Each structure stands twice: as C-alpha cells, then as structure tokens.
Amino acid sequence: GAVLRGDWGAIAIGKNSSIQENVTIHIEMGKSVMIGDNCIIGHHCMIHGPTEISNGCVIGVGAKVLHNSKLGEGCTVGAGAVLLNKEIPPRSLVVGIPADIKKKLPETGKLAGERTSKEYVKNGRTFKDFFEKNPEFNKF
C-alpha cells in the first residue's frame, strides 16, 4: 500500500486521483501537500511537502517531487526524476536528476492524468461490482 504521513500537516488529494503502491507522501511540520484532481502518482514515488501538484499531472514510477516544488496543470514527471524546489509551468514534461523541463506538452486535448485516472476509477468500480456479485472470491 501507500503511506500518507499527515501527522505534521495537511495532505489533500483531489477527486479521481490515483496514489499507487509503495508511494510515500510526507510533509514538514506545519506544511502541506496538495494533489489536484485526475492525477496519477506512480508506484514507488516520494512526494515530500510542502508541494503542490496541479490537476491532471502524472508522476512517473519512482520519481521524487520534493520540498517547495509546484507543478502546473497537466505536467508529466518522468520515471526516476528528482524535482526539488522548482516551479514548473503547465503542460511540461520534466525528466532527469536534477529534474528539468525537457519539452512543452500540447496545449490542446485532455491532460495526461485525466485520460488514465478515469480508467482507474472505472476499474475500481468494476472490481467492486464483481466482488459484491461473487462473494466466494472474498475469502482471499
């Protein structure tokens, strides 16, 4: 599962956002982590606040978004990237260690996270319906 350590401050996660396995979200005392709607936080990511991740962002597997980082709407952070103390404009692709803007993403169309997050929500409802209709599988 994921670990959300909100013991020292606030963690807010928007609707339809997916926080995947082995993600850790942690904050400094009195600070916050804000994750917008329709975001995907990939497996094994570290989000350490204060941090703001706007709507429709995708954080790739194993990436780290650290202290005082702000991601504009629709950004993608590549797998393994380390973002520290930077403000990234909307619809940017960010990669590397240290992370930097690789390119601007298209201004039109759905945000990156929007496409996938809604599929995850749909899958969750499908699995829930299946297990409610097939209680024999609930033994595991």
Mean pLDDT over 129-138 rounds to 88
Give CA torsion, residues 99, 14, 90, 3, to 10 deg.
Answer: 0
31 vs 68, 80, 91, CA distance in Å? 10, 24, 25
Summarised one tens digit per residue, pLDDT across range 32-89 is: 999 999 999 999 999 999 999 999 999 999 999 999 999 999 999 999 999 999 999 9
CB atoms within 10 A of CB 131: 12
Asked if residue 14 has pLDDT above 70, the reply is yes
Confidence of residue 113 (pLDDT cuts 50, 70, 90): confident
User: The domain containing residue 33 runs over which residues?
Assistant: 3-139
* pLDDT of the residue at 23: 98
What CATH number corresponds to the domain at position 19?
Answer: 2.160.10.10
Asked if residue 2 has pLDDT above 90, the reply is yes
Rounded to whole angstroms, the Cα distance separating 139 from 80 reads 37
* pLDDT of the residue at 137: 85
Asked if residue 109 has pLDDT above 80, the reply is no
- DSSP line for 51-112: EEE-TT-EE-TT-EEETTEEE-TT-EE-TT-EEES-EE-SSEEEETTTTEEEEEPPSSS--H
The structural domain count of the chain equals 1
Mean pLDDT, the chain, integer = 94
* pLDDT of the residue at 133: 92
- DSSP line for 7-63: SSSEEEE-TT-EE-TT-EEEE-TT-EEEE-TT-EE-TT-EEEESEEE-TT-EE-TT-
Asked if residue 140 has pLDDT above 70, the reply is no
CA atoms within 13 A on the CB side of 57: 28
